[in-house]
């Protein structure tokens, strides 16, 4: 019907041409978050990194489960605790035709700290590197400041640019001039806030992309994105709104692809201060001690949460009840940790034991535009706390205000989320639960100021252990200590979802990336 309508119009030739081209090898994908820059080293922001992944390569890639796999480096090995050798892939060419060599990697690592005005630099992934030496064009040695097992993981986040662009400015990337990578797609154009066009890189070293042209449309409004898919303007969308999931599932023209994500939604709670600002008795008078410091209270609150209920009703099934920091199967997760069961009676009993038979009052804070259904989750939790006698008030705010205040430790009990870009459990342990130590970068997001010596020790040990098996054991132990002690109260893991028009398949990814390479026409 649309075709007919278009064909009657003035732009007949163009419309028909476009329409038929779509059928051939074009894909239009709706993205849910705005891309701020094309510079692969300017701002470590998922939408930016997602685009960079298309155009640039990394030494080490992450698969759809965030397992590391060879990328531009064919292999790597540990020479000693702080020395790594990387063998680079041969025959790889940049989009401009030049060969990929170790010098490009050196140039990239040199550029990362030199990008001006970066609000969030990629240096967090390169700071462990003490020196790089080139053995031959396809072999290089990386030395770290101390034992640093996460080096490959960190390097999987660094996009390799050609040495020709070593001095390129952010503007050059934004304008497309410097968009010279080794990735499966070449940069074509970017209309800021609207769309990004890519074309196939026929010289790509890996599997051949199915699409000649890729268009990413930026539609941050959820219903609009769904509507565009339903209207057939898009072949695929990311971040399917949970509200529409049920309906889309029944739509024969739509395919849904889902996988559990690396993002956990949890409550952070003030376990540090003796008087916490938003915990009072039921009349609103301050309490003489902070009940949240009492493990029994934390346990009671955890038991009061009906996780399956939230998953079912608030998240429309698009989440999985959480018992630890990453879903089972991720590196460093403990098989012993299970989601706390919903148990109102048990919770009441624990509260009484802790000396709060009548409960107390608390304000739950949360952002209202950061996580999937964040505002609704907070309300649901408040409902559930009310059932065990804890009067919970809800206060949500835009994330700009929320995070500023949270970082100033203004809250007592707050909803936050954490996505582990590295795909393993040391990331949340280090940032969320380690004792706050700004200089060492420990507990940077520990907004409850949870502190546990035993956990700190286990984590430090793990982070200095290069042996993967041993490290995993240590991380599992650290997780168990922190979670059993309820340094945070885990709620659920988000589920990443994509929806496509019939005929297009996708391999869903835990890291939320929407990779055109992974969309395949059904054969």
Among 36, 98, 451, 485, binds other proteins (CB under 8 A): 36
Per the CB < 8 A criterion, the answer to whether 311 and 264 are in contact is: no
Three-state SS sequence of 275-311:
CCCCEECCCCCECCCCHHHCHHHHHHHHHHCCHHHHH
Among 109, 140, 160, 219, binds other proteins (CB under 8 A): 219
405 binds other proteins (CB under 8 A): yes
Among 445, 462, 489, 499, binds other proteins (CB under 8 A): 445
Compute the C-alpha angle 46/217/33, nearest 5°: 30
Helices (H), 120-238: 151-155, 170-174, 222-230
Strands 413-419, 488-501: pairing is unpaired
433 binds other proteins (CB under 8 A): no
**What is d(CA 511, CA 419) in angstroms, rounded to the nearest whole number?**
8
Among 223, 329, 355, 503, binds other proteins (CB under 8 A): 223
**What is d(CA 50, CA 517) in angstroms, rounded to the nearest whole number?**
12
454 binds other proteins (CB under 8 A): no
Positions 148 through 187 that interact with other proteins (CB under 8 A) = 170-171, 174
Among 97, 119, 284, 335, binds other proteins (CB under 8 A): 119
The token duo for 185 is 């797609």
243 binds other proteins (CB under 8 A): yes
**What is d(CA 35, CA 21) in angstroms, rounded to the nearest whole number?**
26
124 binds other proteins (CB under 8 A): yes
Q: Rounded to the nearest whole angstrom, what is the least distance from the CB of residue 377 to other proteins in the complex?
A: 10
Residue that the structure tokens 């000693």 belong to: 80
Q: Rounded to the nearest whole angstrom, what is the least distance from the CB of residue 474 to other proteins in the complex?
A: 19
DSSP string, 204-259: -SSSPPS-SEEEEEE--SHHHHHHHHHTTS-SEEES--HHHHHHHHT-TTEEEEEE
468 binds other proteins (CB under 8 A): no
Among 228, 256, 344, 464, binds other proteins (CB under 8 A): 228
14 binds other proteins (CB under 8 A): yes
384 binds other proteins (CB under 8 A): yes
435 binds other proteins (CB under 8 A): no
> In this structure, how many other beta carbons lie within 10 angstroms of the beta carbon of residue 478?
30
Identify which of residues 232 and 357 has a Cβ nearer to other proteins in the complex.
Answer: 232
Q: Rounded to the nearest whole angstrom, what is the least distance from the CB of residue 436 to other proteins in the complex?
A: 10
106 CB burial (10 A radius; 0-12, 13-18, 19+)? middle
What is the size of the binding site for other proteins (CB under 8 A)?
100
309 binds other proteins (CB under 8 A): yes
**What is d(CA 417, CA 266) in angstroms, rounded to the nearest whole number?**
6
130 binds other proteins (CB under 8 A): no
227 binds other proteins (CB under 8 A): yes
Choices 95-103, 219-227, 329-337, 339-347 (CB under 8 A): range interacting with other proteins: 219-227
4 binds other proteins (CB under 8 A): no
Task: Identify the H or E element spanning 319.
Answer: strand 319-321
396 binds other proteins (CB under 8 A): yes
Strands 195-200, 185-191: pairing is antiparallel
Positions 322 through 341 that interact with other proteins (CB under 8 A) = none
Positions 62 through 101 that interact with other proteins (CB under 8 A) = none
Choices 66-74, 281-289, 374-382, 492-500 (CB under 8 A): range interacting with other proteins: 374-382
504 binds other proteins (CB under 8 A): no
Positions 406 through 425 that interact with other proteins (CB under 8 A) = 406-407, 418
Positions 353 through 372 that interact with other proteins (CB under 8 A) = 368-369
15 binds other proteins (CB under 8 A): yes
Give strand pairing partners of 266: 416, 490
């Amino acid at each position: 019907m649309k075709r007919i309508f278009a064909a009657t119009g003035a732009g007949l030739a163009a419309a028909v041409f476009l329409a038929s081209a779509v059928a051939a090898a074009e894909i239009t994908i709706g993205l849910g978050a705005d891309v701020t820059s094309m510079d692969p080293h300017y701002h470590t922001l998922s939408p930016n990194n997602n685009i960079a992944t298309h155009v640039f390569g990394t030494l080490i890639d992450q698969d759809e489960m965030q397992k590391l796999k060879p990328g531009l480096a064919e292999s790597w090995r540990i020479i000693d605790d702080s020395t790594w050798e990387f063998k680079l892939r041969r025959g790889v060419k940049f989009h401009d035709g030049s060969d990929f060599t170790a010098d490009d990697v050196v140039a990239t690592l040199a550029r990362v700290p030199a990008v001006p005005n970066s609000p969030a630099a990629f240096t967090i992934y390169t700071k462990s590197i003490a020196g790089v030496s080139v053995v031959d064009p396809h072999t290089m040695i990386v030395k770290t400041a101390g034992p640093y097992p996460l080096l490959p993981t960190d390097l999987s986040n660094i996009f390799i640019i050609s040495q020709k662009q070593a001095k390129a400015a952010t503007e050059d990337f934004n304008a497309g001039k410097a968009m010279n990578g080794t990735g499966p797609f070449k940069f074509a154009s970017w209309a800021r806030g609207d769309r990004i066009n890519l074309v196939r890189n026929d010289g790509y070293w890996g599997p051949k992309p199915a699409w000649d042209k890729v268009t990413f449309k930026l539609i941050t409004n959820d219903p609009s994105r769904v509507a565009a898919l339903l209207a057939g303007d898009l072949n695929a969308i990311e971040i399917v709104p949970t509200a529409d999931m049920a309906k889309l599932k029944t739509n024969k023209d739509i395919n849904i692809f889902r996988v559990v994500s690396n993002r956990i939604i949890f409550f952070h709670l003030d376990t540090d201060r003796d008087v916490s600002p938003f915990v009072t008795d039921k009349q609103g008078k301050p309490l003489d001690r902070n009940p949240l410091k009492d493990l029994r209270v934390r346990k009671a609150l955890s038991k009061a949460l009906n996780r399956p209920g939230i998953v079912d009703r608030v998240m429309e099934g698009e989440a999985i009840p959480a018992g630890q920091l990453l879903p089972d199967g991720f590196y460093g997760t403990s098989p012993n940790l299970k989601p706390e069961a919903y148990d109102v009676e048990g919770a009441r009993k624990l509260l009484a034991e802790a000396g709060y038979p009548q409960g107390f009052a608390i304000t739950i804070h949360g952002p209202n535009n950061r996580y999937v259904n964040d505002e609704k989750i907070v309300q649901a939790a408040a409902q559930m706390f009310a059932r065990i006698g804890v009067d919970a008030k809800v206060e949500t705010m835009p994330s700009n205000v929320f995070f500023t205040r949270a970082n100033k430790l203004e809250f007592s009990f707050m909803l936050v989320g954490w996505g582990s870009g590295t795909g393993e459990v040391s990331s949340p342990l280090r940032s969320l639960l380690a004792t706050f130590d700004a200089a060492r970068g420990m507990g940077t997001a520990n907004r409850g100021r949870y502190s546990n010596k035993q956990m700190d020790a286990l984590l430090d040990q793990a982070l200095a252990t290069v042996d993967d098996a041993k490290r995993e054991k240590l991380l599992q132990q650290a997780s168990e200590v922190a979670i059993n002690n309820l340094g945070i109260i885990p709620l659920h893991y988000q589920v990443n979802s994509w929806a496509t028009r019939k005929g297009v398949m996708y391999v869903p990814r835990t890291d939320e990336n929407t990779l055109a390479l992974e969309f395949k026409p059904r054969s």
